[in-house]
Structure 1
Amino acid sequence: MIADERRGLADLTDTLTPEQLRAPSLCSAWTVKEVVGHLVAVVAAGNGAALKTLVRSGFNVHKANARLAATTAARPARELAAILRAHAENPFRPPIVGYPGALTDLQIHQQDIRRPLGLAGQLRPEPLRISLDFLVGGRAVGFTPRRRPAGLRFESTDLDWAWGDGPVVRGPAEAVMLALAGRRAALPDLDGPGVAMLDRRLP
């Protein structure tokens, strides 16, 4: 599933114009190309480069991540796509979050790219289910603070999936996933009495 997502992102990257690559993504202050750079750096930067960047960033993981993404994104887009394809089967398992975290990172970031550009992209049901379970399962360090889903019930309207107790947040599985990951842009796709509470918990 991870390999398929990497190849799909490579295919998408190859279709993007320079203007689209410079456009803001849904992910903080990153451009579309910087999001691609982040996903390339995850598998291609190497432990040495990652450690050096972490030291330069005062061991702040978020700052190091942003620097590594920006550095990698300086490469031509076609090169980034080629690296993704070359590393599609890379077995790297991120610490703590494991393979579910890697899969979720790819799914979320692809929508970070597609949504602001108005590009449709259907996520597959089984990977989506894995990501939803991961985001509410307590291991989603860096993705979902524990307090975000606490006391709410999340229900997918297009996937046989639900979790939690409390006021309901209901909508397409993709929107539920993005909202759990802190993407405020997904809120208009959700309804239910729990949406207002979730809104207050998003950055």
Structure 2
Amino acid sequence: MTDIRAAIAGERTDLAGLLATLPADDWDRPTLCAGWRVREVVAHLTMPYRYSGAAVLRGVLRARGNFNRFADRAARKDAATLSAGDLVTSLRDNVNHPWKPPGSGPEAALSHDVVHGLDITVGLGLDRVVPLDRLRLVLDGTDRRSVKYFGVDLAGIQLRATDLDWTYGTGEPVTGRAQDLLLAVCGRTLPAGRLTGTEAARFTGGVGQRPGAP
């Protein structure tokens, strides 16, 4: 538990530092989350620190029980009303916040931070490398349920990391850095050249993940 909490704090600290250095124009550039700019993604990342449980429940009810619809509305509203500085401060002030997705453990909170951080950096073309120990904690939680949640077709494919001793599935190998394979598992569409293999085109060259997805 201590290692996971330290990894979460480290990831949030690193991401806050990176965001603080972004040129103003970058906050309005697209990310791997389709329809979300950098500011919407950061608003979504920091939503758990700014919304009470009751506020989330009310928002979900207004969205007719659809959490993703609520999350999209909240991200767009907050991105329009909070400055980049406000969002960075919210992230930096909450590096040790104990939030975790309902029904999940701290590993899911780390995954949320890592994946959305990559949505930003890959979308902007920044070659930020997530520390491998954090990626290991996230990737070790990959299972059929998580793959099914994101609607990813991994039939006949084995994902193989080139920088970490990690594989998932069986079949034709698709290889790449661990962080790029994580994005593929989470339904993101990567820039061309990030993955290799005869089936790599399944995961590259299109639009990103639907907005509001964890």
TM-score normalised per structure 2: 0.83
Match of 1:163 in 2: 168
Tell me, in whole angstroms, the C-alpha distance in 2 between the residues paired with 1:131 and 1:83: 23
2:184 is the counterpart of 1:179: yes
Match of 1:61 in 2: 67
Residue among 73, 80, 83 paired with 1:76: 83
Q: RCO higher in 1 or 2 (8 Å CA, sep ≥ 6)?
A: 2
Match of 1:100 in 2: 107
Match of 1:129 in 2: 136
Match of 1:20 in 2: 26
Kindly indicate whether the alpha-carbon contact (under 8 Å) linking 1:149 and 1:198 is maintained by their aligned counterparts in 2: no
2:51 is the counterpart of 1:42: no
Gaps of 5+ in 1: none
What is the letter of the counterpart of residue 120 of structure 1? D
Tell me, in whole angstroms, the C-alpha distance in 1 between the residues paired with 2:123 and 2:168: 28
Gaps of 5+ in 2: 1-6, 210-214
Kindly indicate whether the alpha-carbon contact (under 8 Å) linking 2:188 and 2:203 is maintained by their aligned counterparts in 1: no
What is the letter of the counterpart of residue 157 of structure 1? T
Secondary structure of the 2:117 match is helix
Secondary structure of the 1:189 match is coil
Tell me, in whole angstroms, the C-alpha distance in 1 between the residues paired with 2:59 and 2:27: 24
Query: RMSD in angstroms over aligned alpha carbons?
Result: 2.3
Match of 1:110 in 2: 117
2:30 is the counterpart of 1:29: no
Identity of paired residues, percent? 34
Kindly indicate whether the alpha-carbon contact (under 8 Å) linking 1:152 and 1:168 is maintained by their aligned counterparts in 2: yes
C-alpha deviation, 1:141, in angstroms: 7.5
TM-score normalised per structure 1: 0.87
